[in-house]
Amino acid sequence: MHLPTAEELLRGMAFFREDLAEDIREYSSRLSGRVKKRKRTGLELLAISLDELAVEPSEDSVLAVEAALDLIEDTQGLPVDECRLRCRFYRAVFGDGQATALIAGEIAHLASGDLSPAGSRYLLWRSLGWAAQSRVLDWRRRAGLSVQRSAKWFEPEVRNYELHFKNVITSSTADKPEPQDSSPEDLAVATWEEESREHQTQPTDGVVVISGIGNEATADGKRVAKEFAKFKQRSLPLSGMPELTGVRSRLIAEFPHALPVVDDLLTGLSGRPNVHLGPAILLGAPGTGKTRFARRLTEELGAPYELISCGGLNDSAIGGTARRWSSGEPSLAIMVVRRHECAGPVVILDEIEKIGTSRHNGNVHDVLIGLFEPETSRRWHDPYIQAHCDLSHVSWLMTANSLEPIPAALRDRCRILRFPDPGVDQLPLFASRILERLYIEAGHDPRWATPLEEFELDALASVWTGGSIRRLERLVEGLRDARERARRLQ
């Protein structure tokens, strides 16, 4: 409930009520009241801009306030510098790469004046994280991609960069003697070359998912401890980031209609050492290839995954059930981690809108909200293990035909990506691949799938004008059967 100062935001304090829009409204309303009390000539535009910002917390409204600040001649008694810095912070979270870079500099300035070694190191990692984020945002703008995101996406991405720099810096300086008799120039070159080599050869960082087993002395505790003996205090690997240019090319070749979705997801991975996707919902009409795309994306990224149909999920068992019951089992995420022996698998929840909404024995949505939040997932209490587990590296990718059945609290924690319908212009590509797959599934050599004739494509185009690939599959299957019948009559 505390409205943080600009410096407190730089140091990592959460927004007012942990919400960017609420913070903007509260700050602009308070400052507007102060400005109006001054009753000074030249402040009218600032007061109007602040009121508009309180009504519509947007990047354009923030820019209007900054422009109004530049026109003030008498700034005495007004927190102009604080307001300007805060506006810059807001614009950064809205996705402005230049503002993000400036905030990185402000955090670095704070680090240089922090008397606490631990505090200055934390601010250093934070500054580098913001700098890396500014580069990604700038690249997205130059590529013509959408960059505006909510704070719930901006903050976890920056924290991932912070953690990366922390790991790199601490691992490169640990157990190394201080250099002797080296000039600053020699030291800089040597350090750069050494870190470059280490970055190239260093294995993927691991994560301890299960630190301990609760109530291990009891009979049930001993049983669970034996079951998870190989995972307790064990560092599990994370999937290293592949070369994304090749991943993009292959996905676009297979899903040409989903180019915006491919770019959005892969841009979010740019610059990261390990594969991690923030919670995202692929929203589109039935049969457009959402599920297959989610599966192929994870395969191309080289991450282990689990595909879960949400039609049968109707209680909180996804978050684990107590070990005292005969049906006791760990949470879904823990089971996926155990099955693949990886700290960062991808869980694909297919048709998430079909999850039951009854609260008898708990609710799936409530569990997912906790698993999607970085803070709670980092210390997720599994009722079966009866201890905190680090599930913050698990990725959640979902498909949905409609958003209406999904609670707003869950939607707010997810990126909603509109999955386009395939168009009739992609008919030759899809039809040829479907035909080839049908022959393979029948146990035949795919070379039997001779290219479709022009009249066959015209026939398909007359009844399929885009949309469901599932419907196109049925049409191509009928076409193949007609081919086989004609071949037998010859």
CATH number of the domain to which 389 belongs? 3.40.50.300
Predicted local confidence at residue 264, as pLDDT: 87
Inside any domain, residue 182: no
The domain tally of the chain equals: 3
pTM for the whole thing?
Answer: 0.55
Predicted local confidence at residue 196, as pLDDT: 33
Q: Is the pLDDT of residue 185 over 50?
A: no
Tell me: do 382 and 465 sit in the same domain.
no
For residue 358, which phi and psi values (nearest 5 degrees)? -65, 145
- In contact, 91 and 130? CB cutoff 8 Å: no
Residue 363 is part of which domain span?
219-418
Indicate the residue among 361, 396, 418 that finishes a domain: 418
Provide mean pLDDT across the span 445-453: 66
Predicted local confidence at residue 205, as pLDDT: 59
Indicate the residue among 383, 418, 453 that finishes a domain: 418
Indicate the residue among 173, 203, 238 that finishes a domain: 173
- In contact, 316 and 275? CB cutoff 8 Å: no
Q: Distance (Å, rounded) from C-alpha 323 to C-alpha 303?
A: 30
3-state helix, strand, coil in the chain (%, to 5): 60, 10, 35
- In contact, 265 and 297? CB cutoff 8 Å: yes
Q: Which of 317-331, 378-392, 448-462 has the lowest mean pLDDT?
A: 448-462
Tell me: do 44 and 146 sit in the same domain.
yes
Provide mean pLDDT across the span 283-310: 91
Provide mean pLDDT across the span 284-291: 87
Tell me: do 437 and 376 sit in the same domain.
no
Provide mean pLDDT across the span 240-265: 88
Tell me: do 76 and 16 sit in the same domain.
yes
Tell me: do 325 and 430 sit in the same domain.
no
Inside any domain, residue 202: no
Kind and range of the H or E run holding 366: helix 364-372
The Cα diameter of the chain in Å comes to 95
| 316 band by pLDDT with thresholds 50, 70 and 90 | low
Inside any domain, residue 178: no
Predicted local confidence at residue 199, as pLDDT: 34
Tell me: do 368 and 453 sit in the same domain.
no
| 51 band by pLDDT with thresholds 50, 70 and 90 | very high
Tell me: do 380 and 475 sit in the same domain.
no
Predicted local confidence at residue 202, as pLDDT: 36
More confident residue, 318 or 58: 58
Q: Is the pLDDT of residue 335 over 90?
A: yes
| 193 band by pLDDT with thresholds 50, 70 and 90 | very low
Tell me: do 385 and 440 sit in the same domain.
no
Tell me: do 130 and 43 sit in the same domain.
yes
Tell me: do 306 and 402 sit in the same domain.
yes
Tell me: do 41 and 134 sit in the same domain.
yes
Inside any domain, residue 345: yes
Most confident of 54-58, 72-76, 137-141, 362-366: 54-58
